[in-house]
Structures are given as structure tokens and as C-alpha cells.
């Protein structure tokens, strides 16, 4: 780990009076946990902080209740000197990036996506499980206080981005960091329960319908399913179940969010590189988790993507 970047980040924070923190569009658990932890850290250092998040639906993030009111889209009138952008592999992930760039002197990019393009003035990127894990390392490097609130936010970051410590990005270091978080006295069992036990009966039925549509290649190495626009409105996640099909190397969910607009999620089970598949179609992400949005009929989109995924495995 290059500790120079950490020192640069720490100094930039210390030298700024008013700091903005931004996360990606459609924020996930890592983005939300990270922004809260970073906000609390900056406050510890007596900074004025403004959180920026694109408008998002907080239904799946009850545990972050209120953040959608605290965080707002960027406003140049806020006179931010330093913007810390979390969990974004490139500028297109950041709402109003160009306006931010034109109005903020220094941009810090803290991220763990393998394809991060180092868009910041100061960049700290690397193969960490989550930005939450990175913020923990930052905090411990400068002996900042690990409050229960910060520990809880970081725990959620790591838990969500490692799929509950199941994905290949769960390193020994990740678990050591997590152990330190749990040691603060946070109730990890309760946190997990709040995160996971949130299904509705209708959600379960919709999930069942989506799973009924599951298909696979003959060898089961590629498995996929589709969600129609109506099913996309329901908060269901077929991926974790789909990827558990025995022999699966790549799992794909085609979500038709609007007619003929497919948001496609790829997950690798093992060492298949799905980032490269997403990239081929103009998307991006991690080696093991990537995505892209494509326009076209279901038949055409599914065929093109599955054909290419098949080629990538051969």
C-alpha cells in the first residue's frame, strides 16, 4: 500500500475548511457506509462537511435512514474547497462531475475498482474489498477515533461489498479489519439482520417468478435470468441464488428497466473475468462484478451477451 497517498489525503483534509464528499449514482451499501464514515472522520478533524449523493431510493437502506435528506446533489454555492469522491471508478459514475471539477480546487479519488482511471488530483486506489476497508486503514494510519457509529458504517460497507464475506475479495486483511470493527462492540448480528431480513411476501413471489425464467448453457457454466420492467420495480436480487448453481462460472441478470433498455449485471464465480465482458459492451466494474446498460430487444441483447460470455470462457 502506498502510504504517500494516505499522507497526501490527510494533509488535504487538514488544509481544507469545508469539504464535500460524493458517491456514485445508485449508491450501494459500500458507497453509503463510506460516505457516512468519511463524514464522521472529517467532523472529528473539525471540518465543515457536505455530503453529496444523487437522488436515490432508500427503501433497501433503512439502516441509513435520513441520509437521503442529509445528502443532496452538488451545488457550486456551497463553496467546497476539497471534494472526496468515494467508490467511483471513473467520472461518469459521479453526478454532475464536470460542474464539480469546475468549482472545486482539489478532488480526492478513493476507490477499489480495478478499472479506476485515477481521475482525481490525489488518487488512492487498490485491490481492497471495499472503500469501507480503505477508510478503516486511513483511520488507523492516523490514529483517528473508531467510534461505534463509524464502525457500524464501515461494517456495512465491507459486509455488502463482500457479499457477506463470501466473495473472493474477502482477504485475511478484510477479516482482520472486520474483527477490529466488531471489537468496538457493534452488534454485527443485529446489523446483518437489519440488512437482510427485509423481504416482503410479494418480493418473495416476484423473486420466484424471476428465478423460474433462469436459463443456462448446456455445461451450466453460464447462467442467467431476466427481469421485466415490472419485476425491476420490486427490490429483489436473483443474483445471489443464481450464482449458486453448481458449475456456474458466470451469472448474468438482464434487468429490463424500461422497455428495451437492459441493465446487465455480471458476477463471476471463481476466476472468470466479467469486467472484460462488461467492457466489451461499453460498461465496467470489477473482475468479479461488473455491469453495463444496453438497448435492444430481449432476444438480441441476451443472445449477443451470452455469445460473447461463452467466447470469453473458451
**Closest CB 31 distance from Mn ion, rounded Å:** 7
Contact 100, 46 (CB under 8 A): no
| Binding-site string for Mn ion from residue 187 to residue 216, where x marks contact by CB under 5 A and - marks none | ------------------------------
For 150, 203, 287, the CA distances from 244, given in Å and listed in that order, are 32, 20, 18
**Closest CB 286 distance from Mn ion, rounded Å:** 8
**Closest CB 247 distance from Mn ion, rounded Å:** 28
**Closest CB 131 distance from Mn ion, rounded Å:** 5
**Closest CB 97 distance from Mn ion, rounded Å:** 18
Binding residue count for Mn ion, defined by CB under 5 A:
4
**Closest CB 99 distance from Mn ion, rounded Å:** 24
Q: Which is nearer to Mn ion, 161 or 231 (CB)?
A: 161
Handedness of CA 290, 153, 51, 7 (dihedral sign): negative
Mark the segment that binds Mn ion (CB under 5 A) among 4-12, 19-27, 127-135, 293-301. 127-135
Q: Would you tell me how many other CB atoms lie within 10 Å of the CB of residue 105?
A: 11
Q: Which is nearer to Mn ion, 87 or 231 (CB)?
A: 87
Any idea which residue has 490525489 for its cell? 122
Distance between first and last Cα of the chain? 34
Instruction: Report the alpha-carbon distance of residue 72 to residue 62 in Å, rounded.
Output: 18
In the structure grid, which three cell numbers stand for residue 250, read together?
Answer: 458466470
**Closest CB 34 distance from Mn ion, rounded Å:** 8
Could you give the angle at the alpha carbon of 131 between the alpha carbons of 185 and 49, nearest 5°? 85
Mark the segment that binds Mn ion (CB under 5 A) among 126-134, 139-147, 179-187, 265-273. 126-134
Q: Binding to Mn ion (CB under 5 A): which residues in 72-91?
A: 87
Say which DSSP state 72 is in. B
Q: Would you tell me how many other CB atoms lie within 10 Å of the CB of residue 256?
A: 20
- Computed on alpha carbons and rounded to an integer, the radius of gyration of the chain in Å comes to 20
Mark the segment that binds Mn ion (CB under 5 A) among 40-48, 70-78, 124-132, 214-222. 124-132
Q: Binding to Mn ion (CB under 5 A): which residues in 228-287?
A: none
Q: In the bound complex, which residue of the shown chain has the CB atom lying closest to Mn ion?
A: 30
Could you give the angle at the alpha carbon of 223 between the alpha carbons of 219 and 225, nearest 5°? 145
3-state secondary structure at position 291? strand
In the structure grid, which three cell numbers stand for residue 41, read together?
Answer: 472522520
Q: Which is nearer to Mn ion, 87 or 115 (CB)?
A: 87
**Closest CB 134 distance from Mn ion, rounded Å:** 9
Q: Which is nearer to Mn ion, 52 or 224 (CB)?
A: 52
Q: Which is nearer to Mn ion, 36 or 210 (CB)?
A: 36
Which of 115, 133, 161, 256 forms a contact with Mn ion (CB under 5 A)?
A: 161
User: Is residue 202 classed exposed, middle or buried when 0-12, 13-18 and 19+ CB atoms within 10 A define those classes?
Assistant: exposed
Distance of CA 129 to the CA centre of its chain: 10
Q: Binding to Mn ion (CB under 5 A): which residues in 14-53?
A: 30
φ and ψ at residue 257, rounded to 5 degrees = -70, -40
Mark the segment that binds Mn ion (CB under 5 A) among 160-168, 201-209, 227-235, 236-244. 160-168
Contact 234, 255 (CB under 8 A): no
Q: Which is nearer to Mn ion, 131 or 151 (CB)?
A: 131
Mark the segment that binds Mn ion (CB under 5 A) among 75-83, 146-154, 158-166, 167-175. 158-166
Binding residues (CB under 5 A) for Mn ion: these are: 30, 87, 130, 161
Amino acid at each position: 500500500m502506498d502510504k504517500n497517498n494516505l499522507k497526501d489525503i490527510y494533509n488535504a483534509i487538514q488544509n481544507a475548511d469545508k469539504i464535500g464528499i460524493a458517491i456514485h449514482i445508485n449508491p450501494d451499501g459500500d458507497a453509503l457506509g463510506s460516505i457516512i464514515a468519511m463524514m464522521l472522520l472529517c467532523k472529528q478533524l473539525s471540518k465543515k462537511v457536505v455530503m453529496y449523493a444523487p437522488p436515490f431510493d432508500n427503501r433497501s437502506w433503512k439502516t441509513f435512514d435520513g441520509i437521503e435528506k442529509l445528502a443532496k446533489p452538488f451545488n457550486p454555492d456551497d463553496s467546497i474547497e476539497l471534494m472526496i469522491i468515494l467508490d467511483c471508478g471513473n467520472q461518469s459514475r459521479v453526478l454532475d462531475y464536470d460542474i464539480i471539477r469546475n468549482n472545486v480546487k482539489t478532488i480526492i479519488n478513493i476507490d477499489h475498482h480495478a478499472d479506476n482511471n485515477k481521475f482525481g488530483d490525489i488518487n488512492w486506489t487498490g485491490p481492497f474489498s471495499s472503500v469501507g476497508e480503505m477508510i478503516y486503514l486511513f483511520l488507523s494510519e492516523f490514529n483517528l477515533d473508531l467510534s461505534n457509529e463509524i464502525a457500524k458504517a464501515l461494517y456495512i460497507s465491507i459486509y455488502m461489498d463482500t457479499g457477506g464475506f463470501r466473495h473472493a475479495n474477502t482477504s485475511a486483511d478484510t477479516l482482520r479489519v472486520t474483527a477490529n470493527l466488531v471489537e468496538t462492540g457493534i452488534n454485527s448480528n443485529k446489523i446483518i439482520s437489519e440488512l437482510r431480513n427485509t423481504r416482503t411476501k410479494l418480493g418473495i413471489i416476484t423473486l420466484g417468478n424471476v428465478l423460474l425464467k433462469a436459463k443456462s448453457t448446456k455445461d451450466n457454466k453460464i447462467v442467467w435470468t431476466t427481469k421485466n420492467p415490472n419485476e425491476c420495480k420490486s427490490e429483489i436480487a436473483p443474483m445471489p441464488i443464481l450464482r449458486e448453481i453448481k458449475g456456474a462460472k458466470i451469472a448474468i441478470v438482464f434487468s429490463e428497466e424500461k422497455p428495451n433498455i437492459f441493465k446487465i449485471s455480471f458476477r463471476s464465480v471463481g476466476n472468470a473475468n466479467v469486467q472484460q465482458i462488461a467492457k466489451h459492451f461499453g460498461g465496467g466494474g470489477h473482475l468479479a462484478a461488473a455491469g453495463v446498460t444496453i438497448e435492444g430487444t430481449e432476444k438480441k441483447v441476451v443472445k449477443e451477451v451470452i455469445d460473447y460470455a461463452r467466447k470469453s470462457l473458451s
